């Protein structure tokens, strides 16, 4: 490929992997480039890779790698980096999902609303997400009835376990459970995670919690797609870690947790991990941010949840402690040659503890470790083991026990979760360790990388298959495309009889073999293999060229780690344990194993068999891939290490998939995209041509390109061809830019000349204007001086006149004021004297009157006390002589007489009060006369004589007052004596009152006993046999309607038996009396139920059923009842109708009456109970209803029914409008503008959409309105319903912009805007009773009112996703997006939820008070009873006595 100056390229750099650069000079094969760090370097042309010139447009990233213009390593790397900077952690590569660990919480990506968005959506339609992959696997399983598998891979810390949890969470959401269970499958599997992590995870060099085993979670489904069970399969446990670890790694977590368990550790004689041989090979004992003791208790809680009993838990921890003690047993040479013994007392202590914890014989344990038996025909031969063999025997025992314990735990977890053996399909989620390449790589890395090679081969086959399927769907020739395979590496490792594993097993079978002999034989057999290399500085190390790169392996410990003997002594020892769990781990061995003490078992061969079983499982399913990537090694957010990510992309096979794509047609563009990008190369073909396929073919033929394929919808180009097209396009654009620049410079020069000419003309005009203005100013100043002189003279004369006039007025006002003030002071003094005199006289008279009244009251009290004592004495004398009944009668008469006397006393007091009032009036009249006399005294001289007479009168009154005061004093003394006597009488009255209460209580008991006796006598009387007498009972007594008003009782109360006995004739039987209210209630219930169930329709817009029910309840006085069950029957009937008619299958699928009838009943009765003041018509004939508790409860239940109806109608509308709205979210291709074609003339507004999708929504709304009006739904409900429906439309459109990048474009915005204009027109055409039209907002209002309603994350999301697809521009600079990202990170750290999506409002937008105020009153007087109800007696009587009353 040829390079020219200004071309954008990628150049390789050690630290960053690849960096951006621009060609500045080309000399032969040497190319001088300027990097983004402003460094100028020289590289060969073969070392450069082309970079898309338009990559900064449209956001600078794509959500699918296959959409990249140049599909190469740097393009993939930097696309991930840009998306990661925007917190877009998911990216597709075809059907493969790449997940970059954000190392921070992103709860908005994983809530239930997000799962609902991806439910049933085709893969790739929305933004990349792990839910999309999970949904694709679930839909494929349901539609094809074939099992699926999701392979989650990546290195330690990349987020594989978390991704697995999210996949199971989504599958649980869409699948649910077929049977009722308290916990979901996801919860049960996740609850087992702490247990599996404790026993299967360990710290490695790169991750503190690395899974050292493969986990395959198999979620099982029934025929209906519901989850029916689950199972966990484990593979490839790294059992050698139990006995051998390297610094700074750790052993399995469970050992450290047990050592930190406190009392449990003391029970098992455990201490710090540094004191145990299996743990102190590494100096790392603690993990940052993790407490081993807390983790220990979490593990125990997980065991409780899984269902492991306390005894089994103790046995598990005893086994772990025994393994640790077993590792501390050391050996020393024995007395015999090649023999061994326990080294010292410390080792002996650990041996005893291990035997105690295993619950086996210590001597047998010593014999098992230090010797081995060989079974021959002559008998068993006991052979002693040297120290190294005994240590190896000890380690083999520890590994075997731990591996079997781990398998036992997995088996119990599966029992707890519950498997479905009858399940035909399932979805498996594989979480396995990724490719590993360290500084020192041993046998574990060899096995792990071998497993990843097998998985990579499966991955390559899947990718190639997907490529083939796409080629087939596009109908292009693909037969010559080469398949990139790694079978040669797999043959090198596993092929028989000569393979690395086979050679390793052969070396392990010979006791004298060493790693040197193994390496020598391996190099001799594979000397010519291109995948195997020998290192320069070591004779035993070898290098394998894996798909992810070369890895150097050290063979020092290969043989030891591959040997795994099945020792019969070990099985015999532990099967004899007294602990059921330990003995259960080691069952009986087959006969061939018993013949030899040591049965060799190859770890690598067993690993290969498990891997083969796993591959068979995966091959039987349809795979889906998720590649997890760790962006940095320090586990920090917003940190992207290029070199590390590039290495993971190689290890994860992503770049291998890229290479597979490069082998075929890596560049694929739809015809529309290709024409949009390269249409500028052939402008002559663009005029008038609308066949995009023909345009594409014409462009490629003009450019003289070969080896391209034209598919059904896409054009396929070979590698490098897109670069040629880009170069030609760049040349055309550069020429166009030069032409535009020349035209622009001409325009600027002419514009400057025109400005200069206009400036000179303006200067000349300004000078002439200055001269004219100067002459004009002189003339105007002369005329102004004359006018000023005139007005000054006028002002002086006017001011002199005003001063004289003001002085005259001031003098006159002062004189008049002096005269008026003097006259006013005289009058005020006279009035003050009159007021003082009147108040003094009034006070004297009031005091005198009060004294008279007090004396009168005291005298009356004394007299009443005397009468009361006399009567009391008489009552006491009569109390002992008469019987109790006569005594009660007399006391009643006495009380009546006392009441009469009290009434007489009250009447006397009232008459005295009237006399006092008369005297008061006379006194007031005399005071008025005195006041008139005093007034006349001021005016005439004769008043003085009258004044003297009044003085004499006052003196006589004062004398009289003194005499009255003396009488009052004597009356007070008599009153004190009377009060003492009254207190004595009061005490006696209290005693009599107590006696009276006791007698009344006895009387009540006697009445109750009498009532019981009368009931018994009635039941025992022969009248009970007269059953025929009930037929003669009049019909009018069958219901409470026929009773008189004074005795009327509603038929829903249960009156006492005495009342029935008093009202019914003696000829009626008790059974009839018991059956009558029940039959009456059943008849009334049947009337109401028929009104609710039958389609009675409307009359003049009024619901007939509601009016009839209300009139019946009102006439039966049900609202005033203290106890009644009729309201419960009405509510139950309404709910039954709702269950039948308001299904979730759509609004218009139900009959109109069923959607309107119950609603009419509910809102009208609720309105009547809540607002009785809204009665119409003859309001004077109907008082307000005194509603009791059942009626109030009935009102609340009806309100709940109305809310339920509203909620179901709203939900049904949302379900029906969602499919219509989903096709309106994205503009069809036909409505998008294409560059190069004629655009619409300026001044033309937004055209309506070219399809009828939005018209379907308008038609739906019209049908909704007609349905609501046909059922007479009040405008209040219509307004609330339409408001929430439009809110739902708003939420769906807004969320689609935030979830789908192809919707967040300029042309799609125009399309949605045109559709919204149709809805706006529909709103404006609707009447006011439906919805209120909002006024237009100005630009300033939008800035101040609209933007604050959006959160920082929402604005950032829109800015990062928006691009102008019409003109192919980004619209928002990267600097603004970066600054906004910093604001988002700052503001969202302390938020509980940082979701950028809008939530749907599911609340009920009205209350009971709103119903009462909004629903109009209805007059039910003209609503007649239907003919179907006239045969009921109650209805006949109700129609006969019906008095139309408004409601």
Rounded to whole angstroms, how far apart are CA atoms 1232 and 671? 14
* Residue 756, pLDDT above cutoff 90: yes
User: Which of the following is catalytic: 58, 60, 75, 157?
Assistant: 157
Q: In what order do the strands lie in the sheet with 17-27?
A: 40-44, 30-35, 17-27, 8-13, 49-50
In this structure, the dihedral spanned by the alpha carbons of residues 863, 868, 873 and 878, taken in order and rounded to 10 degrees, is 140
Residues 227-270: tens digit of each pLDDT: 888 888 887 788 888 998 888 889 999 999 999 998 889 999 99
- For the residues 200-207, what does the mean pLDDT come to? 84
- Beta strands 532-534; 714-717: pairing state: unpaired
Q: Is residue 91 within 8 Å of 669, Cβ to Cβ? A: no
Residues 419-473: tens digit of each pLDDT: 888 888 899 988 877 788 888 888 888 988 898 888 888 877 777 666 766 767 7
Q: Is residue 891 within 8 Å of 998, Cβ to Cβ? A: no
Give 1102-1125 as a DSSP string: EEHHHHHHHHHHHHTT-TT-SS-S
Rounded to whole angstroms, how far apart are CA atoms 1257 and 1315? 10
pLDDT at 277: 93
- For the residues 1194-1203, what does the mean pLDDT come to? 80
Q: Is residue 321 within 8 Å of 296, Cβ to Cβ? A: no
Q: At 430, is the secondary structure helix, strand, or coil?
A: strand
Q: Is residue 644 within 8 Å of 633, Cβ to Cβ? A: yes
**DSSP tag of 1396:** -
Give 432-499 as a DSSP string: -------SS--HHHHHHHHHHHHHHHHHHHHHHHHHHHHHHHHT---TTPPPP--HHHHHHHH-SSSS
Nearest CA to 334 out of 365, 367, 288, 287 is that of 367
Rounded to whole angstroms, how far apart are CA atoms 149 and 622? 6
Average of per-residue pLDDT values in the chain = 76
> Which region among 236-240, 379-383, 435-439, 894-898 has the lowest average model confidence (pLDDT)?
379-383
Rounded to whole angstroms, how far apart are CA atoms 1201 and 1214? 20
Residues 149-169: tens digit of each pLDDT: 998 888 777 888 788 888 988
Residues 820-859: tens digit of each pLDDT: 999 999 999 999 999 999 999 999 999 999 999 999 999 9
In angstroms, the Cα distances linking 1319 to 813, 1260, 1290, 1325, 1429 are 77, 11, 11, 10, 47
Residues sharing a CB contact under 8 Å with residue 672, sequence separation 6 or more, in sequence order: 692, 1229, 1232, 1234
Rounded to whole angstroms, how far apart are CA atoms 520 and 508? 14
User: Which of the following is catalytic: 20, 238, 436, 1216?
Assistant: 436
Say which residue, 1227 or 618, is predicted with more confidence.
618
Give 127-163 as a DSSP string: S--HHHHHHHHHHHHHHH---EEEEEE-STTSSHHHH
pLDDT at 798: 93
In angstroms, the Cα distances linking 80 to 88, 93, 596, 1301, 1310 are 9, 11, 58, 16, 30
Residue list, annotated binding site for ATP: 154-161
In angstroms, the Cα distances linking 1015 to 321, 672, 1066 are 83, 98, 13
Maximum mean pLDDT: which of 607-611, 666-670, 1228-1232: 607-611
Q: At 41, is the secondary structure helix, strand, or coil?
A: strand
**DSSP tag of 325:** H
Say which residue, 892 or 408, is predicted with more confidence.
408
In angstroms, the Cα distances linking 412 to 422, 910, 1413 are 20, 98, 63
3-state SS, 231-261, equals: EEEEECCCHHHHCCCCCCCCCEHHHHHHHCC
Supply the Cα-derived Rg of the chain in whole angstroms.
52
Q: How many C-beta neighbours within 10 Å does residue 438 have?
A: 13
User: Which of the following is catalytic: 91, 207, 299, 1168?
Assistant: 207
**Which residues partner with 153 through β-bridges?**
627
CA angle 977, 979, 982 (to 5 degrees): 115
Q: At 197, is the secondary structure helix, strand, or coil?
A: helix
Residues 635-661: tens digit of each pLDDT: 788 888 888 888 888 776 676 666 666
Q: At 781, is the secondary structure helix, strand, or coil?
A: helix
In angstroms, the Cα distances linking 476 to 69, 668, 713, 796, 1193 are 20, 12, 11, 110, 73
Nearest CA to 1258 out of 1286, 1298, 1239 is that of 1286
**Which residues partner with 27 through β-bridges?**
30
Q: Global pTM?
A: 0.56
Q: Residue 211 catalytic?
A: yes
pLDDT at 1343: 40
Say which residue, 880 or 1074, is predicted with more confidence.
880
* Residue 1284, pLDDT above cutoff 70: yes
Rounded to whole angstroms, how far apart are CA atoms 123 and 95? 8
Q: At 1238, is the secondary structure helix, strand, or coil?
A: coil
pLDDT at 1075: 42
Q: At 1035, is the secondary structure helix, strand, or coil?
A: helix
pLDDT at 1338: 43
Element housing 977 (H / E) = helix 943-1020
pLDDT at 1346: 46
User: Which of the following is catalytic: 79, 91, 164, 211?
Assistant: 211
Rounded to whole angstroms, how far apart are CA atoms 1418 and 1446? 7
pLDDT at 787: 94
Maximum mean pLDDT: which of 298-307, 643-652, 707-716, 1140-1149: 298-307
CA angle 30, 32, 33 (to 5 degrees): 135
pLDDT at 761: 93
Residue list, annotated binding site: 154-161
Give 110-126 as a DSSP string: SSHHHHHHHTTPPTTTS
**DSSP tag of 1214:** H
In angstroms, the Cα distances linking 590 to 563, 586, 607, 755 are 20, 12, 22, 108
In this structure, the dihedral spanned by the alpha carbons of residues 377, 382, 388 and 391, taken in order and rounded to 10 degrees, is 100
Rounded to whole angstroms, how far apart are CA atoms 1277 and 1416? 12
Determine the length of the chain.
1447
**DSSP tag of 602:** B
* Residue 1399, pLDDT above cutoff 90: no
* Residue 1249, pLDDT above cutoff 50: no
Rounded to whole angstroms, how far apart are CA atoms 1246 and 1307? 11
User: Which of the following is catalytic: 153, 210, 555, 1296?
Assistant: 210
In this structure, the dihedral spanned by the alpha carbons of residues 639, 644, 645 and 648, taken in order and rounded to 10 degrees, is -140
Residues sharing a CB contact under 8 Å with residue 804, sequence separation 6 or more, in sequence order: none
Q: How many C-beta neighbours within 10 Å does residue 8 have?
A: 18
Q: Residue 436 catalytic?
A: yes
Residue 1417 binned pLDDT confidence (cut-offs 50, 70, 90) = low
In angstroms, the Cα distances linking 1379 to 104, 636, 1390 are 19, 20, 19
Residue 135 binned pLDDT confidence (cut-offs 50, 70, 90) = very high
Q: Hey, which bits of 936-1067 come out as E strands?
A: none
- Beta strands 1098-1099; 1102-1103: pairing state: antiparallel
Residue 1437 binned pLDDT confidence (cut-offs 50, 70, 90) = low
Rounded to whole angstroms, how far apart are CA atoms 279 and 273? 6
Nearest CA to 1299 out of 349, 375, 63 is that of 63
* Residue 543, pLDDT above cutoff 80: yes
* Residue 715, pLDDT above cutoff 70: yes
Q: Residue 157 catalytic?
A: yes
Nearest CA to 236 out of 28, 403, 425 is that of 403
How many CA atoms lie less than 13 Å away from 1053 in the CB half-sphere?
Answer: 17
CA angle 1333, 1335, 1336 (to 5 degrees): 130
Rounded to whole angstroms, how far apart are CA atoms 826 and 351? 130
Q: Is residue 41 within 8 Å of 60, Cβ to Cβ? A: no
């Amino acid at each position: 490929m040829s390079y020219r100056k200004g071309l954008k390229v990628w150049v390789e750099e050690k630290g960053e992997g690849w960096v951006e650069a621009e060609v500045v000079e080309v000399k032969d094969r040497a190319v001088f480039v300027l990097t983004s760090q402003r460094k100028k370097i020289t590289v060969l042309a073969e070392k450069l890779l082309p970079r898309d010139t338009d990559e900064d447009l449209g956001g600078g990233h794509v959500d699918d790698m296959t959409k990249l213009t140049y599909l190469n390593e740097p393009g993939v790397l930097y696309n991930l980096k840009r998306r990661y900077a925007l917190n877009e952690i998911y990216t597709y590569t075809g059907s493969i999902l790449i997940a970059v660990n954000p190392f921070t919480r992103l709860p908005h990506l994983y809530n239930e609303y997000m799962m609902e968005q991806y439910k049933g959506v085709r893969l790739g339609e929305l933004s990349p997400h792990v839910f999309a992959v999970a949904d694709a696997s679930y839909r494929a399983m349901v539609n094809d009835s074939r099992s699926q598998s999701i392979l989650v891979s990546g290195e330690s810390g990349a987020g594989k376990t978390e991704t697995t949890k999210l996949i199971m969470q989504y599958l649980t959401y869409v699948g649910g459970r077929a049977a009722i269970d308290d916990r979901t499958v996801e919860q049960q599997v996740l609850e087992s995670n702490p247990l599996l992590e404790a026993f299967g995870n360990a710290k490695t060099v790169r991750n503190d919690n690395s899974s050292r085993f493969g986990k395959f979670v198999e979620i099982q489904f029934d025929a209906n797609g519901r989850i029916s069970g689950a199972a966990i399969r484990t593979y490839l446990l790294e059992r050698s870690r139990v006995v051998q670890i390297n610094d700074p790694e750790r052993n399995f977590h469970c050992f450290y947790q047990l050592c930190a368990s406190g009392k449990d550790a003391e029970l098992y004689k455990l201490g710090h991990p540094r004191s145990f041989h299996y743990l102190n090979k590494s100096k790392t004992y603690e993990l940052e941010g993790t407490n081993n003791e807390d983790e220990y208790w979490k593990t125990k809680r997980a065991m409780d949840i899984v269902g492991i009993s306390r005894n089994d838990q103790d046995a598990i921890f005893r086994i772990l402690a025994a393994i640790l003690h077993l590792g501390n047993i050391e050996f020393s040479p024995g007395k015999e040659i090649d023999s061994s013994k326990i080294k010292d007392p410390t080792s002996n202590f650990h041996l005893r503890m291990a035997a105690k914890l295993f619950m086996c014989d210590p001597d047998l344990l010593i014999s098992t470790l230090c010797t081995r038996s060989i079974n021959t025909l002559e008998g068993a031969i006991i052979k002693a083991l040297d120290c190294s063999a005994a240590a190896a025997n000890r380690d083999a025992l520890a590994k075997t026990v731990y591996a079997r314990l781990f398998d036992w735990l997995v088996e119990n977890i599966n029992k707890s979760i519950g498997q479905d053996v009858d399940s035909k399909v399932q979805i498996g989620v594989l979480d396995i360790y990724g490719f590993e390449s360290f500084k020192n790589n041993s046998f574990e890395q060899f096995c792990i990388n071998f497993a990843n090679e097998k998985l990579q081969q499966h991955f390559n086959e899947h990718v190639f298959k997907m490529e083939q399927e796409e080629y087939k769907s596009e109908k292009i020739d693909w037969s010559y495309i080469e398949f990139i395979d790694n079978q040669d590496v797999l043959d090198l490792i596993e092929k028989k009889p000569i393979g690395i594993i086979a050679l390793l097993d052969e070396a392990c079978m010979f006791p004298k073999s060493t790693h040197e002999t193994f390496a020598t034989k391996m190099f001799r057999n594979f000397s010519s293999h291109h995948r195997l290399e020998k290192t320069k500085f070591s004779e035993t190390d070898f290098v394998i060229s894996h798909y992810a790169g070369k890895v150097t392996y050290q063979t020092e410990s290969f043989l030891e780690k591959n040997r795994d003997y099945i020792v019969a002594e070990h099985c015999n020892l532990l099967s004899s344990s007294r602990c059921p769990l330990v003995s259960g781990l080691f069952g009986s061995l087959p006969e061939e194993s018993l013949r030899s003490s040591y049965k060799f078992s190859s770890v690598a061969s067993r690993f290969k068999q498990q891997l083969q079983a796993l591959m068979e499982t995966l091959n039987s399913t349809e795979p889906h891939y998720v590649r997890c990537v760790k962006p940095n090694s320090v586990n920090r957010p917003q940190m992207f290490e290029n070199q590390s990510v590039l290495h993971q992309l190689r290890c994860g096979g992503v770049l291998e998939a890229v290479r597979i794509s490069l082998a075929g047609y890596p560049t694929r563009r739809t015809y529309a995209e290709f024409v949009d990008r390269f249409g500028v190369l052939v402008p002559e073909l663009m005029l008038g041509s609308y066949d995009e396929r023909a345009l594409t073919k014409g462009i490629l033929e003009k450019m003289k390109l070969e080896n391209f394929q034209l598919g059904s919808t896409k054009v396929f180009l070979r590698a490098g061809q897109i670069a040629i097209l880009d170069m030609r396009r760049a040349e055309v654009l550069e020429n166009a830019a030069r032409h535009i620049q020349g035209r622009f410079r001409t325009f600027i020069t002419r514009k400057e000349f025109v400005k200069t000419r206009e400036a000179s003309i303006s200067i000349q005009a300004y000078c002439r204007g200055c001269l004219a203005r100067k002459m004009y100013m002189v003339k105007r100043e002369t005329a102004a001086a004359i006018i000023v002189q005139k007005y000054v003279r006028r002002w002086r004369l006017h001011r002199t006149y005003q001063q004289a006039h003001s002085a005259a007025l001031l003098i006159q006002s002062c004189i008049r004021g002096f005269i008026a003030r003097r006259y006013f002071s005289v009058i005020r003094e006279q009035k003050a004297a009159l007021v003082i005199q009147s108040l003094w006289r009034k006070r004297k008279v009031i005091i005198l009157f009060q004294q008279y009244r007090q004396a009168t009251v005291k005298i009356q009290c004394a007299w009443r006390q005397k009468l009361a004592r006399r009567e009391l004495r008489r009552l006491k004398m009569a109390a002992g002589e008469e019987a109790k009944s006569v005594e009660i009668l007399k006391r009643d008469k006495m009380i009546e007489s006392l009441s009469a006397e009290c009434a007489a006393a009250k009447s006397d007091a009232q008459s005295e009060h009237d006399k006092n009032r008369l005297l008061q009036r006379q006194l007031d009249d005399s005071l008025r006369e005195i006041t008139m006399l005093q007034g006349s005294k001021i005016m005439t001289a004769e008043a003085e004589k009258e004044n003297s007479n009044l003085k004499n009168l006052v003196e006589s009154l004062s004398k009289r007052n003194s005499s009255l005061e003396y009488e009052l004093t004597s009356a007070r003394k008599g009153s004190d004596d009377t009060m003492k006597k009254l207190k004595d009488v009061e005490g006696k009255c209290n005693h009599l009152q107590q006696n009276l209460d006791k007698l009344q209580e006895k009387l009540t008991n006697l009445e109750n006993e009498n009532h019981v006796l009368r009931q018994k006598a009635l039941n025992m009387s022969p009248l009970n046999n007269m059953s025929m007498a009930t037929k003669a009972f009049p019909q009018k007594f069958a219901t409470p309607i026929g009773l008189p008003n004074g005795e009327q009782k509603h038929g829903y109360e249960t009156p006492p038996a005495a009342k029935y006995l008093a009202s019914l004739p003696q000829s009626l039987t008790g059974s009839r009396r018991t059956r009558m209210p029940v039959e009456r209630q059943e008849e009334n219930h049947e009337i109401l139920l028929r009104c609710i169930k039958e389609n009675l329709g409307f009359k003049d817009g009024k619901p007939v059923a509601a009016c009839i029910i209300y009139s019946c309840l009102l006439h039966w006085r049900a609202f005033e009842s203290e106890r009644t069950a009729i309201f419960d029957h009405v509510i139950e009937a309404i709910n039954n109708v709702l269950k039948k008619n308001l299904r979730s299958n759509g609004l218009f699928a139900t009959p109109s009456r069923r959607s309107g009838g119950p609603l009419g009943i509910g809102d009208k009765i609720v309105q009547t109970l809540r607002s009785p003041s809204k009665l119409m018509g003859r309001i004077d004939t109907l008082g307000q209803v005194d509603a009791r508790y059942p009626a109030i409860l009935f009102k609340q239940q009806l309100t709940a029914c109305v809310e339920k109806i509203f909620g179901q109608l709203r939900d049904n509308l949302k379900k029906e409008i969602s499919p219509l709205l989903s096709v309106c979210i994205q503009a069809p291709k036909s409505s998008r503008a294409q560059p190069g074609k004629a655009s619409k003339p300026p001044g033309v507004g937004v055209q309506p959409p070219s399809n009828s999708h939005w018209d379907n929504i308008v038609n739906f709304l019209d049908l909704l309105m007609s349905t609501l009006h046909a059922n007479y739904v009040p405008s209040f409900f219509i307004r609330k319903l339409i408001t929430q429906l439009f809110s739902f439309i708003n939420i769906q459109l807004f969320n689609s912009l935030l979830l789908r990048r192809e919707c967040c474009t300029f042309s799609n915005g125009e399309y949605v805007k045109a559709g919204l204009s149709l809805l706006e027109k529909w709103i404006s055409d609707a009447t006011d009773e439906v919805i209120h039209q909002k006024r237009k907002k100005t630009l300033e209002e939008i800035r101040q009112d609209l933007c604050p309603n959006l959160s920082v994350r929402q604005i950032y999301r829109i800015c990062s996703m928006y691009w102008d697809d019409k003109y192919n521009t980004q619209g928002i600079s990267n600097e603004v997006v970066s600054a906004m990202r910093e604001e988002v990170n700052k503001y969202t750290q302390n938020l509980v939820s940082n979701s950028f999506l809008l939530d749907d409002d599911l609340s009920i937008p009205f209350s009971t008070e709103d119903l009462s105020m909004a629903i109009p009153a209805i007059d039910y007087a003209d609503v007649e009873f239907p003919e179907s109800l006239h045969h009921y007696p109650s209805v006949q009587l109700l129609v006969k006595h019906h008095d139309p009353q408004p409601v």
